Structure 1
Amino acid sequence: MQELRANAPMPDQPLKLLVIGLNYAPDFIGIPKYTTELCEELARRGHEVTVVTAPPYYPAWEVPAAYRGAWRAETLNGIRLIRAPLYVPKNPGGLTRLLHHLSFAATSLPAAVWCALTKRPDIVLTVAPSFMSAPAALIAAKLSGARSWLHIQDFEVDAAFELGMLKGERARRWAERLERTLLLGFDRVSTISASMRRLLLRKGVKDEAALEIRNWVDIDTVTAWPSSNTSYREALNIPADHAVALYSGNMAGKQGLEALADMAARLEAQSTKVTLLLCGQGPLKGMLEAACSERNNVRFMDLQPIEKLPELLATADIHLLPQRAEAADLVLPSKLTGMLASGRPVVAMADAGTGLAIEVEGCGLIVPPGDSEAMAHAVTILAQDSELRLELGAAARRRAEDAWRMSSVIDRFEASAREVLSDQTLVASAARAHSL
Structure 2
Amino acid sequence: MSRPSPRALILGLNYPPETTGISPYTGAMARGLVHRGVIACVLTAHPHYPDWKIKPGYGQWSRNEHLAGVDVTRLLHYVPVSPKGLRRLFSELSFGARLFGRRWGRPDAIVAVSPALISSAMAAVRHQLTARKTPFVVWVQDLYALGLAETGQAPGLVIRAMSAIEGWLLRRADKVVVIHDRFAARVAQDFGVSRDRIQVIRNWTHLPPAPVVDVAATRARHQWGDRETVVLHAGNMGVKQGLSNVIAAARAANTAGEPVKFVLLGAGSELSRLKSEGADIPNLQFLAPLNDADFVSALSSADCLLVNELFGVAEMAVPSKLTSYFSAGRPVIAATDVAGITADEIRAADAGVVVPAGDPAALLDAAVSLGADPDRASQLGANGLLYCSTVLDEDSAIDQFTQLLVQLIDRDDRTTESVPRTQTIEAR
**Could you state the TM-score of these two structures normalised by the residue count of structure 1?**
0.89
Q: Report how far residue 308 of structure 1 moved.
A: 2.5
Residue 310 (str. 1) matches residue 301 (str. 2): no
Residue 81 (str. 1) matches residue 69 (str. 2): no
> Which of 205, 214, 238 is matched with 1:217 structurally?
205
Question: How is 1:385-400 mapped onto 2 (pairs within 5 angstroms)?
Answer: 385-400=373-388
Give unpaired runs (5+ residues) of structure 2.
Answer: 418-428
Q: Which residue of 2 aligns with 1:18?
A: 9
> Which of 339, 353, 358 is matched with 1:365 structurally?
353
Residue 300 (str. 1) matches residue 247 (str. 2): no
Q: Which moved more, 1:227-236 or 1:31-40?
A: 227-236
Q: Report how far residue 181 of structure 1 moved.
A: 1.5
Conserved? CA contact 1:190–1:212, under 8 Å: yes
Equivalent residue pairs, number = 411
What per-residue deviation string (whole Å, max 9, x for no partner) do you get for residues 7-62 of structure 1? xx96xx73210000001111111111110111112112221000000011111111
1:273 & 1:137 partners in 2: Cα distance?
52
Q: Report how far residue 179 of structure 1 moved.
A: 1.9
1:209 & 1:72 partners in 2: Cα distance?
35
Q: Which moved more, 1:66-75 or 1:133-142?
A: 133-142
Q: Report how far residue 301 of structure 1 moved.
A: 0.9
Partner letter of residue 339 of structure 1? Y
Q: Which residue of 2 aligns with 1:405?
A: 393
Partner letter of residue 356 of structure 1? T
What per-residue deviation string (whole Å, max 9, x for no partner) do you get for residues 389-418 of structure 1? 011111111111111111111111112222
Q: Report how far residue 82 of structure 1 moved.
A: 1.5
Change (3 A) 1:253 1:385: same
Residue 345 (str. 1) matches residue 331 (str. 2): yes
1:327 partner SS: coil
Q: Which residue of 1 aligns with 2:89?
A: 98
2:160 & 2:300 partners in 1: Cα distance?
45
> Which of 336, 340, 355 is matched with 2:341 structurally?
355
1:331 partner SS: coil
Q: Which residue of 1 aligns with 2:232?
A: 246
What per-residue deviation string (whole Å, max 9, x for no partner) do you get for residues 360-411 of structure 1? 0121100111111111111110011101101111111111111111111111
Q: Report how far residue 282 of structure 1 moved.
A: 1.0
Residue 61 (str. 1) matches residue 52 (str. 2): yes
Q: Report how far residue 230 of structure 1 moved.
A: 4.5
Change (3 A) 1:219 1:98: closer
1:104 & 1:129 partners in 2: Cα distance?
12
Residue 195 (str. 1) matches residue 186 (str. 2): no
Q: Percentage identity across aligned positions?
A: 28
Partner letter of residue 378 of structure 1? A
Q: Which residue of 2 aligns with 1:319?
A: 305
Q: Which moved more, 1:293-302 or 1:69-78?
A: 69-78
Question: How is 1:89-238 mapped onto 2 (pairs within 5 angstroms)?
Answer: 89-111=80-102, 114-115=103-104, 118=105, 120-139=106-125, 141-142=127-128, 143-144=130-131, 145-167=133-155, 169-202=156-189, 203-218=191-206, 221-222=209-210, 229-238=215-224
Conserved? CA contact 1:340–1:393, under 8 Å: yes
2:28 & 2:336 partners in 1: Cα distance?
28
1:40 partner SS: helix
> Which of 267, 272, 295 is matched with 2:253 structurally?
267
Conserved? CA contact 1:218–1:405, under 8 Å: no
Aligned alpha-carbon RMSD (Å)? 2.1
Q: Report how far residue 350 of structure 1 moved.
A: 2.6
Conserved? CA contact 1:310–1:342, under 8 Å: yes
1:269 & 1:387 partners in 2: Cα distance?
28
Partner letter of residue 26 of structure 1? P
Partner letter of residue 94 of structure 2? S
Change (3 A) 1:263 1:189: same
1:47 & 1:360 partners in 2: Cα distance?
34
Residue 330 (str. 1) matches residue 330 (str. 2): no
What per-residue deviation string (whole Å, max 9, x for no partner) do you get for residues 119-141 of structure 1? x2111001011111223433454
| Runs of 4+ residues deviating >6 angstroms | none
2:408 & 2:196 partners in 1: Cα distance?
10
Partner letter of residue 394 of structure 1? A
Give unpaired runs (5+ residues) of structure 1.
Answer: 1-8, 432-436
What per-residue deviation string (whole Å, max 9, x for no partner) do you get for residues 263-290 of structure 1? 0011222222222221111121122222
What per-residue deviation string (whole Å, max 9, x for no partner) do you get for residues 281-337 of structure 1? 112112222222222212211010123222121121100100124331111100000
Conserved? CA contact 1:124–1:137, under 8 Å: no
Residue 50 (str. 1) matches residue 41 (str. 2): yes
Q: Report how far residue 153 of structure 1 moved.
A: 0.8
Partner letter of residue 19 of structure 2? F
